[in-house]
Chains A and B, each alone.
Chain A
Amino acid sequence: MSICLRYTNRQEDALEIYNDSFLKIFKEIHHFKPLYADELNSFKGWIRKIMIYTAIDHSRKNSKHSFAADMETSLVYIKDNEEDPLDKMSHDEIIQAIRQLTPACRTVLNLYIIDGFNHEEIANQLDISVGTSKSNLFKARQQLQQILKNNNKIQITKNVG
């Protein structure tokens, strides 16, 4: 479920992706063949991939914006001397921040940083160019930093107040 929640910002969509993924798993489980000696981890990896692909398919169906184009064209630059907001945020808050990204940036960030795909694979999956993938990743990082920074400032003001 955590995988599905990372790829969408709506609980209902995450549940839908989760259920669809498991339906595929139940249908295709007889086709599963472990690639490694460690069958359990091999099976976990197989489930993980099915969930990721299902999430991408779901985003493609429901998203009004293609992965090539992004809603926010303006870039946010973070000054080097500012503290890294990731240090001060909990894991849950980081994930919540990821969910606030735009669909294109969120998908590329999840695929590249967390799920370990390279840009060629991402381009193949999302039907975009490698350059677009890299561009979206850069944007995703910038947006995430801003969101986390804003969230951190709100927290500080709460604590002070």
Chain B
Amino acid sequence: MWDEEDDKKLREAAGSFQPPLDENAWDSMEKLLDEFLPQETDRKRIFFMIPFVLVVVTILLTLWFKSGDLFKNNIASLNPERGNVEKTNNNRRITNNKNGEKEIAQSKGNVTIDRGSSLKKEKNSFLLKNEKIETRLRLKKENKKADKNISNQQTAIPKIKTGNNKREESENITDSKPANNQDFHFANKDKIKASSDADTSLRPNVMKDSNTIAFKTDTSKTIKAGVQKTKTKSSNSFSERFNIGVSAGPGISFVGNLNGKITVDLGLALGYRITKQFGVHTGVFISKKIYAATPNDYYSPGGSSYYLAKIDGDCNVIDIPLNLDIYFSQKRNHEWFASAGLSSYLMKKESYNYFYKLPGGESYVKNQTIFNQNKHYFSVLNLSAGYNYFLNNHFSFSAQPYVELPLTGVGEGKVRLNTAGILFIVKVKPFLKSKK
């Protein structure tokens, strides 16, 4: 006959019944979860990224506009009113003659100023178009024209109204020979007249032969020099600012109060100096994260076992930072800097040992290895400061202590993995040409 004892036995049996673990059971659960509970994207991370991206975009736009201004300045150097003459000549004296023309006296000059219509046209075209390639082509054409004019120069010279007797005398010279700059300046030591567009008698292209020739020669040289200057400036800017570095250094990872093992991180860094004070750098760093975590720090889907005591993690990580650098206390051969940015962690291999302790004192270990599963984009805040020492124009050496703080959980267990260490970097400017 069935009695209460039998019911009790059934309950005991049900309470103590532990079916064997089916390791494939999770696969079907995972499919269900992916279907009915898809993971939402972490929008907070996106919102956090927006200001950082805006800062980077602003810096890039500033750089782009600055390069445009730089080009304009080079074009302005071709302007006779405010070109190289003003910059290079210290003993400059500007006076107005009877006709209201500006006379610029130079003790040493390398260019005569001429407000000729042809040069103005060139200037206007340069300013309007503002493209380096077209400018160079035009300048080359002008140079060719100038050379042709020199060779086809006529002897007839119109009257030029000057206040200088010496110049009037020189007008009578019919036989002209190409004069170099030194001859020209020697003949007209004190004054060099600048002709005006308003006064047609002062036609710029038809002056005294020597003046014309000297002018043309000087102009072409100036144009060429201007073009060369533009060229060298733009090419030097990138090669001087861009650098590649190889880094290595020790680091330690830890979760909560449990310390991990010290490992060596290796990497390749790319840096670009935007201004004297600011720069950006990125790279690829291979690091090993060895740490320990308690069950409270480690996330287990479905909850962790009551007997789980500790988890040891051993992860191979590819760290891709994107940092903004601020430089200060810059001296001739060294400087200090601070850096902040976000890193992305690509977990290539994660190996976890789960240590269980049973009430009877027995313990056992379970292992889990995961490959290429977890990826954390811009999820780690990295802060660093350091010291740059310039060995020469090409090479520099940096020591950079750093701290990496997670913004989200890292790895399979979504642990708050902190990392600290120091990187020693040897940097080189690969495109910088050595000066002969």
Contact = CB atoms under 8 A, between A and B. Distances in A.
Interface residues of A, number: 28
A25 to B, nearest CB: 9
Contacts of A113: 7, 10-11
Given A2-B14, A84-B6, A94-B13, A15 B19 contact: no
Contacts of B33: 23, 26
B17 A2 contact: yes
Interface string A55-83: 00000000000000000000000101000
Interface in A4-42: 5-6, 15, 18-20, 22-23, 26-27
B258 to A, nearest CB: 25
B36 interface: yes
A94 B9 contact: yes
B28 A19 contact: yes
A62 B29 CA distance: 20
A5 B37 contact: no
A95 interface: yes
A5 B302 contact: no
B2 interface: yes
A150 B322 CA distance: 73
Interface string B12-30: 1110111100100100110
Contacts of A20: 32
- A91, A98, A145 — which one has the most chain B CB atoms within 10 A of its CB? A91
Given A1-B19, A23-B33, A27-B36, A6 B14 contact: yes
B133 interface: no
Contacts of A156: none
A141 B2 contact: yes
B25 A18 contact: yes
A20 B11 CA distance: 25
B1 interface: yes
Contacts of A86: 6, 9-10
B17 A95 contact: yes
Interface string A77-115: 010100010110001101100100000000001000110
Given A80-B1, A141-B2, A145-B2, A5 B19 contact: yes
A118 B168 CA distance: 130
Majority DSSP secondary structure for residues of A touching B: helix
Contacts of A95: 13-14, 17
B2 A91 contact: no
A22 B32 CA distance: 10
Interface residues of B, number: 23
Contacts of B17: 2, 5-6, 91-92, 95
Nearest to B306: A40
A42 B339 CA distance: 50
Contacts of A1: 19
Contact of B10 (A2, A114, A142): A114
B301 to A, nearest CB: 10
A22 B7 CA distance: 29
A142 B6 CA distance: 12
Nearest to A2: B17
A26 B36 CA distance: 10
Given A15-B25, A113-B7, A23 B36 contact: yes
Given A15-B28, A18-B25, A145-B2, A91 B13 contact: yes
Interface string A120-146: 000000000000000000000110010
B32 A23 contact: yes
B2 A22 contact: no
Contact of B16 (A5, A6, A91, A145): A91
Contacts of B16: 91
A161 B16 CA distance: 31
Interface in B16-61: 16-19, 22, 25, 28-29, 32-33, 36-37
B37 to A, nearest CB: 6
Interface string B299-322: 000100000000000000000000
Contacts of B9: 86-87, 94
A22 B25 CA distance: 12
A86 B13 CA distance: 10
Contacts of B302: 22
A77 to B, nearest CB: 10
B8 to A, nearest CB: 9
A141 B19 CA distance: 23
B308 to A, nearest CB: 16
B263 to A, nearest CB: 37
A90 B434 CA distance: 87
Contacts of A22: 29, 302
A129 B6 CA distance: 25
Contacts of A145: 2
Contacts of A80: 1
Nearest to B30: A19
10 contacts: A6-B14, A15-B22, A19-B29, A22-B29, A22-B302, A26-B37, A27-B37, A80-B1, A91-B16, A95-B14
Interface of B: 1-2, 6-7, 9-14, 16-19, 22, 25, 28-29, 32-33, 36-37, 302
Given A2-B14, A5-B19, A141-B6, 5 more contacts: A6-B14, A92-B13, A98-B10, A114-B10, A114-B14
Closest 7 CB pairs of A and B: A91-B13, A94-B13, A141-B2, A114-B14, A2-B17, A95-B17, A86-B9
